[in-house]
Amino acid sequence: MTHRSVHLPVAAQPSLDALVELGVRTEELGFERAWLPETWGRDAVTTLSLIAERTSEVGIGTSILNTYSRSPALVGQTAATLQEASNGRFRLGLGPSGPAVIENWHGVDFERPLRRTREYVDIVRNVVSGDPVNYDGDVFDLRGFRLRCDPPETPPPIDVTGMGPKAVELAGRFANGWHGLMLTQDGLEERLGDLERGADLGDRDVSDVQVSLLLTCCALEDGEEARRLATQHVGFYIGGMGTFYRDALVRQGYEDVANEVHDAWNDDDREHALSLVREELLDDLVCAGTPDEVAEKLAEWEAIDGLNEIDVGLPRSADRDQIDETLAAVAPENR
């Protein structure tokens, strides 16, 4: 059975306590895990520490910590600490993010993203093992680091987030899991082929690599409002987040519309950009509408062979009532 988890929103939360309470709510509703990306909102480490303290069963995880703003040794310490704080419920998601985030927000050159991510996986595993870290890589050269505390009894799994063929191949070859996002069903099937190729290169069984998909959902009795919120969300990510998501859609056969949305958004014609996110594109990327419509669409995704977990994402402009309505509608007990 495909698990259902929640990808906690980074926007539209009035306080840290409100965001943490959403994490608590995921446990109450029976979701597998509460994932939090670290982008431009509250930092993932503080937030997940509080969720771990206020829950007892739900897993917690970073859907992405980028591999530029923290050193790999620090990420290893963080993973060990969150695994201790959650009594073994933590899962680490890593990824390079994209140049718009890394260069513009963090002031770091976006160089060798795949090799850098590969070395992060190696170093973090070394750190959480408790052994001395002596690493001679192409990007990192480390000597003499070692945890000054007991290492986790069970090392946290390490997932890689990626959208391109080589990034997904890397996950299949070296990571415990892969996080996909902004994918159509056909696009997911194609990336699963990349994952299997990577597993073969690593002499691994692809079934040992957990596949998690971030799938934006909005299930409201007012189905038209749900679709409006989802359209705004998709338009923002295509147009407002550099070229990362645009390029992912180009790879999946949406070259014309992806470029048109991106260009209109960056020309400050947001209304026109959103008008270009037509029904076909919206239905290929998200589950939005009435609860019954969303349930039917989710069932289609969950039937895809090789998909282990759907991470329910929420439109960036959804308010707390709309978030609560959606989470209740798609809770595991309601499938």
Mean pLDDT of the chain: 95
pLDDT in tens, 271-291: 999 999 999 999 999 999 999
Question: What pLDDT score does 101 carry?
Answer: 86
H helices of the chain, in order, are 16-28, 44-54, 72-85, 99-106, 113-129, 165-174, 185-201, 223-240, 244-251, 255-266, 270-275, 279-285, 291-302, 320-330
Tokens describing residue 152:
């986790």
Residues 247-267 have a mean pLDDT of 92
Question: What pLDDT score does 13 carry?
Answer: 82
Question: What pLDDT score does 99 carry?
Answer: 85
DSSP string, 254-265: -HHHHHHHHHHH
Question: What pLDDT score does 15 carry?
Answer: 93
Residues 12-39 have a mean pLDDT of 94
Q: What band does 98 get if pLDDT is binned at 50, 70 and 90?
A: confident
Considering the entire predicted model, what is its pTM? 0.95
Q: What band does 40 get if pLDDT is binned at 50, 70 and 90?
A: confident
Torsion sign across C-alpha atoms 248, 250, 253, 257: positive
Torsion sign across C-alpha atoms 42, 43, 44, 48: negative
Ranges 92-101, 176-185, 198-207: which has the least confidence: 92-101
Please give the share of the chain, as a percent, with pLDDT higher than 70: 100
Residues 27-48 have a mean pLDDT of 95
What is the distance between the alpha carbons of residues 127 and 79, in angstroms, rounded to a whole number? 9
Do residues 48 and 41 touch, judged by C-beta distance below 8 A?
no
The pLDDT of residue 12 is above 70: no
The pLDDT of residue 326 is above 70: yes
Q: What band does 122 get if pLDDT is binned at 50, 70 and 90?
A: very high
